[in-house]
Chain A
Amino acid sequence: MTVEGKIDLLAAPDRRAVPGIGFAWLRRLAPLLESIPAMIGIALILFWVLGAALAPWLAPYPPNASDLKALAHPTPSAAHWFGTDHLGRDILSRVLWGARTVLTVAPIAVLGATAFGSLVGLCAGYYRGWIDLVITRISDIVLSFPVIILYMIILAMYGSSAINIIAVITLTKAPIIARIVRGITLELREREYVAAAKMRGESALYIMLVEILPNARGPLIVEMCLRMGYTIITIGVLGFLGIGLPPPDPDWGGMVKDTYGMMSVWPHMSLIPCAAISSLVIGFNLLSIGLREIGLRD
């Protein structure tokens, strides 16, 4: 152990609070305030979350309404701060409404993947043997499959709707979470407090959910943050490839798809949604760096 590590042992006992419910949680996040990446990340995320939540009030125009007058001069102007797209729709409004879409689909998908993946990972790590073998092999197959191809096949065949997209993303992201949780479970199941739980007759479900899972909170939260970023990218990509949500609902990826061909004439139409999606993902990735920095992953 490093010398610093030893000093940490000597230092005052409550240097780092352990995850708990209630105010202890918030107190523990206080060090985040000192981390620059985390603060920038939170700022970016908050910006978009507020934008999305308040879109109905903030957006100056309905997102699908075409302003025919602006068709001739779609570049940013006083009337349209971000300009309009090739169909005369206000880009600012579409971007705000698009944020709503992304920020509803992505969290649900990530939560689904986390819940499902955690359960699967817990079982694989705790029971080992047969169950572990089967689960790991299946996850390997799913993980090794190029997801884009999978999306294309499923969504092209079965149509793309919010439900389908969420389902597909959940299924493809779950193995990653499962692998992480499995690793943690394999380690934690050897801990003596698990043995003590067995000796007082706790069921396997109790041990997995009450003894093991809470101690995986740290790495899990960091991973969820990272997954949010990647999921948002995925949603954008799907929209860009034309297999995302059907038009005319504003979808950042779809907005780029419709307008990037006109880049040489009207670059702002595609640049702005690109900047939007990039900034949101940067936000989540910075936050995950910050979380890791403050040692949430114990």
Chain B
Amino acid sequence: MTDRETPILEFDGARISFFLRAGEANVIPGLSFAIKPREALGLVGESGCGKSTVALAIMRYLGRAGRLTAGRILFQGRDMAELDAAGLRAVRGRRIAMIYQDPMSSLNPVMTIGRQLMEVPMIHEAIGADEARARALAMLGEVKLPDAAAIFERYPHQLSGGQQQRIVIAMALIARPALLIMDEPTTGLDVTVEAAVLDLVRELRQRHESAILFISHNLGTVAQICDRVGVMYAGELVEDGTVRNVFSAPRHPYTRGLLDCLPTLGRDKHSAALRSIPGQVGSPLARLPGCAFAPRCGFAEPGRCTTAPIAPRELAADHRVQCVRVAELPEWRHPPGDGGDDRGEATGPAALTMRGLGKIYHQSQGVFGGGGRSIAALRDVELVAERGRTLAIVGESGCGKSTLARILSGLQSASAGTVDLDGTAIGGLAIDRRTTALKRRLQMVFQNPDSTLNPSHSVGYAIERALRRLKGLTAAQARRQTGRLLDTVKLSGDFARRRPHQLSGGQKQRVAIARALAGDPEIILADEPVSALDVSVQAAIINLLTEVQAARGATLVFISHDLAVVRYLADSVAVMYLGHVVEFGPAAAIFAPPWHPYTEALLSAVPEPDPDARRDRIVLDGAPPSAAAIQRGCPFATRCPRKIGAICDDTPPPEQLIAGTHRIACHIPAAELVALQEAGPPSARPASTEPIDRVLAS
């Protein structure tokens, strides 16, 4: 019989508001949930749902404007609000510890790592410096940081993002807390680094017996770590239960909507369009009387859903849903997967061809630019984008994809090689040397919706200016055409008068797309256009891009680090690592074996929200070597789990043609690669014995 253990953390009808000049922003109207000891609960939701507020409320760190206005937050059975200052300090860092989103700014830049670690036990357990130092060194080993003694003396800016996050984790666990709060701990880290960190968390969890509150917008990561999950929308817990129940049989319309709009590795655009959730989250300053999701819900019934607050209902054991119509909703099915291959291997005419493209940066040192190192951002890139299709370029940070985008767009010029745009050579042409006609043919959509539009200009001005510069239209013509373009991106005409600060992220990206379409480009270059958007908005923008491309027969070059999105969108894919293209081919071929070992690792690292899809993961050691180091052999040799020997370090790998246009740059012959990969992931590699300085070389 299970005894009733006191939950480690319990929210009991908690109501949290922020008191601003504009009024009371009731971020969390009434939250109730509990975490049992040693359990891992995930909280998922999009931006503005209040999940970070929950984390800070537990620590009583809501700032001057925030307050718990009703309900209680209990930790180990005791009301947190009753703690005095000393009591609060005793809990913070010792019994409840927190891990933050941006590790670089969470660490003190002028204090060594070692000292920051030592502080925790020294404050709470009143031990001496020597013992604290020993504990800190031991902890560094536990988080798998090599060469602990050297890292001890370093400063945060000398470490990579993944290493910094491990330090933050070490700092949290060193006092053996009972509850660990992780607020978006892997957002902003590369996929492979994220996989390694998540692995570490799983391992540490076994050893440390802390309960975990894991907050993330990424459903996949939550599915990897947590036992139970709660879905938050506008400050309310709309559904919670075990990961299995919630993700394979979601009952709340919002949860279903979220899962519907997620591109997973199994979906592509030919099977079904992504379903997005229309509308936007409401403001906490003006909460609706009924269900907060009702304005966007396809099943909402005026009256039942919109007049009174909805009470949560217990469905099966441990599965609560906050929806009055839950019993009446149709059954939900996972979105269809591989709808069969696309138009087959037949290749179309090439719109954009890149041959031997290279780019070298010089980092100068010294007063007048003497000395310094050269960094090879791109090496010998050879790619083809077919007309009317989508070429996706995927890779992690430092792989050179952004540099490639800048060269194609003309914002930078290549050091070597050619780029051919359907007959016209543009590789050497910086943007200011291209003719207007040429500029029209290739336009770009950027990554960050907050900086893609000039905050001082209205939407109409931005688009009209593009029209007038690129097509030479008069003011009146431009205004008319702006209306038509806004229509294409599904924004109403009166958006022309608005300023960017009045728009949501998704709307800003739509305007950016309209602006890029102003010149009727043949080639649309999209550099991570959806990475900064919420999942539900992402889906809408992806749909828009595919629609626009199909309607205009344009070629889309889509750059991303998100493999699931790439799988959905792309017709052909190029995988990049450290400036090289390691694999290239049609999308269907890329996502099936044989893979380049890097592609293999990348695919296994992608977190999926499907609890059944727990793959064996390949965890890569260390960090990519510095781009300033000169490589003779394969760029991936230092981390490759399938490395065969010295040949990988010394000789550049050959480009093996697998079938049609599919090619892999690897020393292992293709047939052998297929056999190895179908047998399963490689066994764990011995820990890297390279001294930390080589690995950190910056």
Taking beta carbons and an 8 Å cutoff, which residues of A are in contact with B? 2-4, 6-7, 9-16, 18-20, 191-193, 195-196, 198-202, 211, 214-215, 217, 298
Q: Report the minimum CB–CB distance from A282 to chain B (whole Å).
A: 27
Q: Report the minimum CB–CB distance from A278 to chain B (whole Å).
A: 33
With A4-B65, A18-B501, A200-B470 known to touch, is A9 a contact of B455 (CB < 8 Å)?
no
Q: Report the minimum CB–CB distance from B182 to chain A (whole Å).
A: 17
Q: Which of B439-447, B482-490, B591-599, B677-685 contacts A (4 or more CB under 8 A)?
A: B439-447
Of all chain B residues, which has the CB nearest A204? Answer: B432
Q: Most chain-A CB neighbours within 10 Å: which of B20, B52, B443, B502? A: B20
Query: Which residue from B63, B443, B456, B462 sits with its C-beta under 8 Å from A2?
Result: B63
Q: Any chain A CB within 8 A of the CB of B158? A: no
Considering the chains assembled together, what is the distance between the CA atoms of A12 and B287 in angstroms?
A: 12
Q: Any chain A CB within 8 A of the CB of B410? A: yes
Chain B positions within 8 Å of A214 at CB level: 454, 456
Interchain Cβ contacts under 8 Å between A and B, 19 examples = A4-B18, A6-B52, A7-B65, A9-B47, A10-B48, A10-B283, A11-B22, A13-B501, A18-B455, A192-B447, A195-B444, A196-B515, A198-B410, A198-B411, A201-B431, A202-B469, A214-B454, A214-B456, A215-B455
Say whether B285 contacts A12, CB under 8 Å. Answer: yes
Considering the chains assembled together, what is the distance between the CA atoms of A253 and B601 in angstroms?
A: 76
Say whether A19 contacts B469, CB under 8 Å. Answer: no
Say whether B455 contacts A3, CB under 8 Å. Answer: no
Chain A positions within 8 Å of B63 at CB level: 2-4
Say whether A199 contacts B443, CB under 8 Å. Answer: yes
Q: A4-B63, A4-B66, A18-B455 are in contact. List 8 more A-B contacts (CB 8 A).
A: A7-B25, A10-B48, A12-B283, A18-B456, A193-B452, A196-B452, A198-B411, A211-B454
Q: Any chain A CB within 8 A of the CB of B284? A: yes
Taking beta carbons and an 8 Å cutoff, which residues of B are in contact with A? 18, 20, 22, 25, 27, 47-48, 52-53, 56, 61-66, 283-286, 409-411, 431-432, 434, 436, 439, 443-444, 446-448, 451-456, 462, 465-466, 469-470, 499-502, 512, 515, 518-519
With A4-B65, A199-B411 known to touch, is A192 a contact of B446 (CB < 8 Å)?
yes
With A3-B63, A10-B48 known to touch, is A192 a contact of B283 (CB < 8 Å)?
no
Chain B positions within 8 Å of A211 at CB level: 454
With A13-B501, A192-B448, A214-B456 known to touch, is A200 a contact of B465 (CB < 8 Å)?
yes
Q: Report the minimum CB–CB distance from B369 to chain A (whole Å).
A: 10
Say whether A200 contacts B469, CB under 8 Å. Answer: yes
Chain B positions within 8 Å of A193 at CB level: 451-454, 462
Q: Report the minimum CB–CB distance from A239 to chain B (whole Å).
A: 40
Of all chain A residues, which has the CB nearest B50? Answer: A10
Chain A positions within 8 Å of B502 at CB level: 13-14
Of all chain B residues, which has the CB nearest A190? Answer: B451
With A11-B20, A192-B451, A193-B454 known to touch, is A16 a contact of B501 (CB < 8 Å)?
yes
Of all chain A residues, which has the CB nearest B502? Answer: A13
Q: 9 tightest CB-CB pairs across the interface, nearest first?
A: A214-B456, A192-B446, A193-B454, A192-B452, A200-B469, A191-B451, A7-B18, A192-B451, A3-B63
Chain A positions within 8 Å of B432 at CB level: 198, 201
Q: Count A-B pairs with CB separation below 8 Å.
A: 110
Chain A positions within 8 Å of B518 at CB level: 200
Chain A positions within 8 Å of B465 at CB level: 200
Considering the chains assembled together, what is the distance between the CA atoms of A7 and B26 in angstroms?
A: 10
Chain A positions within 8 Å of B444 at CB level: 195-196, 199
With A9-B48, A11-B22 known to touch, is A18 a contact of B499 (CB < 8 Å)?
yes
Say whether B411 contacts A3, CB under 8 Å. Answer: no
Considering the chains assembled together, what is the distance between the CA atoms of A132 and B686 in angstroms?
A: 50
Chain B positions within 8 Å of A217 at CB level: 456
Say whether B25 contacts A10, CB under 8 Å. Answer: yes
Considering the chains assembled together, what is the distance between the CA atoms of A298 and B501 in angstroms?
A: 12
Chain A positions within 8 Å of B452 at CB level: 192-193, 196
Query: Which residue from B61, B409, B456, B501 sits with its C-beta under 8 Å from A199?
Result: B409
Q: Report the minimum CB–CB distance from B539 to chain A (whole Å).
A: 21
With A10-B284, A11-B25, A16-B501 known to touch, is A198 a contact of B431 (CB < 8 Å)?
yes
Chain A positions within 8 Å of B470 at CB level: 200-201
Say whether B283 contacts A3, CB under 8 Å. Answer: no
Considering the chains assembled together, what is the distance between the CA atoms of A13 and B411 in angstroms?
A: 33
Chain B positions within 8 Å of A200 at CB level: 439, 465-466, 469-470, 518-519
Q: Report the minimum CB–CB distance from B25 to chain A (whole Å).
A: 6
With A12-B285, A18-B456, A195-B446 known to touch, is A201 a contact of B436 (CB < 8 Å)?
yes
Of all chain A residues, which has the CB nearest B527? Answer: A192
Chain B positions within 8 Å of A7 at CB level: 18, 20, 25, 27, 65-66, 284
Q: Report the minimum CB–CB distance from A210 to chain B (whole Å).
A: 8
Considering the chains assembled together, what is the distance between the CA atoms of A195 and B22 in angstroms?
A: 36
Considering the chains assembled together, what is the distance between the CA atoms of A199 and B518 in angstroms?
A: 12
Considering the chains assembled together, what is the distance between the CA atoms of A4 and B61 in angstroms?
A: 11
Q: Report the minimum CB–CB distance from A68 to chain B (whole Å).
A: 60
Considering the chains assembled together, what is the distance between the CA atoms of A200 and B56 in angstroms?
A: 45
Considering the chains assembled together, what is the distance between the CA atoms of A295 and B375 in angstroms?
A: 41
Chain B positions within 8 Å of A196 at CB level: 444, 446, 452, 466, 512, 515
Considering the chains assembled together, what is the distance between the CA atoms of A201 and B451 in angstroms?
A: 19
Considering the chains assembled together, what is the distance between the CA atoms of A195 and B432 in angstroms?
A: 12
Chain B positions within 8 Å of A18 at CB level: 455-456, 499-501
Considering the chains assembled together, what is the distance between the CA atoms of A214 and B455 in angstroms?
A: 9
Chain A positions within 8 Å of B446 at CB level: 192, 195-196
Chain A positions within 8 Å of B64 at CB level: 4
Q: Report the minimum CB–CB distance from A128 to chain B (whole Å).
A: 12
Q: Report the minimum CB–CB distance from A46 to chain B (whole Å).
A: 26
Considering the chains assembled together, what is the distance between the CA atoms of A6 and B469 in angstroms?
A: 38
Considering the chains assembled together, what is the distance between the CA atoms of A298 and B454 in angstroms?
A: 13
Chain B positions within 8 Å of A20 at CB level: 456, 499
Q: Report the minimum CB–CB distance from B471 to chain A (whole Å).
A: 10
Say whether A11 contacts B66, CB under 8 Å. Answer: no
Considering the chains assembled together, what is the distance between the CA atoms of A18 and B502 in angstroms?
A: 10
Of all chain A residues, which has the CB nearest B409? Answer: A199
Considering the chains assembled together, what is the distance between the CA atoms of A192 and B466 in angstroms?
A: 14
Say whether B283 contacts A195, CB under 8 Å. Answer: no
With A4-B63, A192-B448, A193-B452 known to touch, is A11 a contact of B411 (CB < 8 Å)?
no
Q: Report the minimum CB–CB distance from B69 to chain A (whole Å).
A: 15
Say whether B456 contacts A19, CB under 8 Å. Answer: yes
Chain B positions within 8 Å of A11 at CB level: 20, 22, 25, 283-285
Say whether B22 contacts A10, CB under 8 Å. Answer: no
Q: Most chain-B CB neighbours within 10 Å: which of A10, A12, A14, A298? A: A10
Considering the chains assembled together, what is the distance between the CA atoms of A184 and B537 in angstroms?
A: 32
Considering the chains assembled together, what is the distance between the CA atoms of A14 and B283 in angstroms?
A: 12
Q: Most chain-B CB neighbours within 10 Å: which of A2, A4, A195? A: A195
Considering the chains assembled together, what is the distance between the CA atoms of A2 and B462 in angstroms?
A: 31
Considering the chains assembled together, what is the distance between the CA atoms of A73 and B530 in angstroms?
A: 81
Q: Report the minimum CB–CB distance from A12 to chain B (whole Å).
A: 5
Say whether A3 contacts B52, CB under 8 Å. Answer: yes
Chain A positions within 8 Å of B439 at CB level: 199-201
Q: Report the minimum CB–CB distance from A107 to chain B (whole Å).
A: 25
Say whether A199 contacts B66, CB under 8 Å. Answer: no
Of all chain A residues, which has the CB nearest B466? Answer: A200
Considering the chains assembled together, what is the distance between the CA atoms of A200 and B443 in angstroms?
A: 8
Chain A positions within 8 Å of B431 at CB level: 198-199, 201
Of all chain B residues, which has the CB nearest A202? Answer: B469
Q: Most chain-A CB neighbours within 10 Å: which of B18, B411, B453, B456? A: B456
Say whether A199 contacts B410, CB under 8 Å. Answer: yes
Q: Report the minimum CB–CB distance from B247 to chain A (whole Å).
A: 27
Considering the chains assembled together, what is the distance between the CA atoms of A81 and B501 in angstroms?
A: 54
Q: Report the minimum CB–CB distance from A16 to chain B (whole Å).
A: 7
